[in-house]
Every structure is written in C-alpha cells, then in structure tokens.
Amino acid sequence: MRVSIAAVCLLVGCSGGDLTLPDSADPVTLTIVSGNGQRADAGDPLDQPLVVQVLDSDSTPVPGTSVEFGFLGDVPGAAVTPALTTTDDEGQAEAFVRLGTESGEHLVIAQVAGTASPDLSARFSVVATSSSHDDAGCTLTSI
C-alpha cells in the first residue's frame, strides 16, 4: 500500500500544473532579411531600409513584436528611424538609416525589445564612404 500512495503523490505532484512551456508564437530568432552591406557617402541616407524578420519555434513569422534598431557605439551625425518599431504580419520590421559623418564601417544592431538573447538580435554592417562631392564638380584636363 505504501508504494501505491507514493505513486499517487508522485503523479499528483508532477501533474504539470506549474510547468510552463514556451508558446510556439514566442519569438525565438531574429534574422536579417535585407539591407546588410550597403554603402553610401558619409552623412547620407542608405538607399534601402534595414529589414529583419522575427520567427517562432515553428519558423512562423511573429507579428506585433517590438524591435529596436540602433548604432553600436557613438556615431556622430548618424540616425536610425524609427529606433523602435513593431513587426508586421510577415514578422518583419524595418528601419531607415542616415550614415554618420565619418567614413568607415558602421554597425547597426536590431534586437527584440526587452531581451538580451543573442538569438533575438542581428548585426548589420554598413559603410560610409568619403564624399564624392569633394571636388565641387571640377574636372581637370590637360592643355
């Protein structure tokens, strides 16, 4: 009889009432869709937005997820608009970028708001080039 009572207690104690499994609609990955590797003159906007997609554990898009975009470190003259946005029905979020005034590589991080999980962030690399307008439109020719 002792075994039966112990087994019943074990079954009741492990009934799963306190067990919480992740909802399949919870975000588990954030990946780059487009916009990585763009180049533009320093201080100019990129031609295309930076786009990410948030997926759940079934690889289904997750709409309505807040995503933050921002530069890694201080980049003078740079801007990301919007800095906080929400994924659409396809689980995608986008932001438009104005490059900083200094030429070189700029890193932009997109991440699901309120998390530090590396699976819920992506790193874009974009390049600010020296302005091609420095010569004021003059062309030198030989005589």
Is 13 a residue whose pLDDT tops 60?
A: no
Residue 97's φ and ψ, nearest 5 degrees, are -125, 135
Longest dimension (CA), the chain: 112
Do 52 and 92 form a contact (C-beta atoms < 8 A)?
Answer: yes
* Sign of the torsion formed by the C-alpha atoms of 19, 20, 23 and 27: negative
Mean pLDDT over residues 76-90, rounded?
97
DSSP state of 15: S
**Listed residue (128, 125, 96) closest to 108, CA to CA:** 125
* Residues 36-45: tens digit of each pLDDT: 999 999 999 9
Do 54 and 61 form a contact (C-beta atoms < 8 A)?
Answer: yes
* Residues 110-142: tens digit of each pLDDT: 999 998 888 899 999 999 999 755 444 444 455
Do 54 and 62 form a contact (C-beta atoms < 8 A)?
Answer: yes
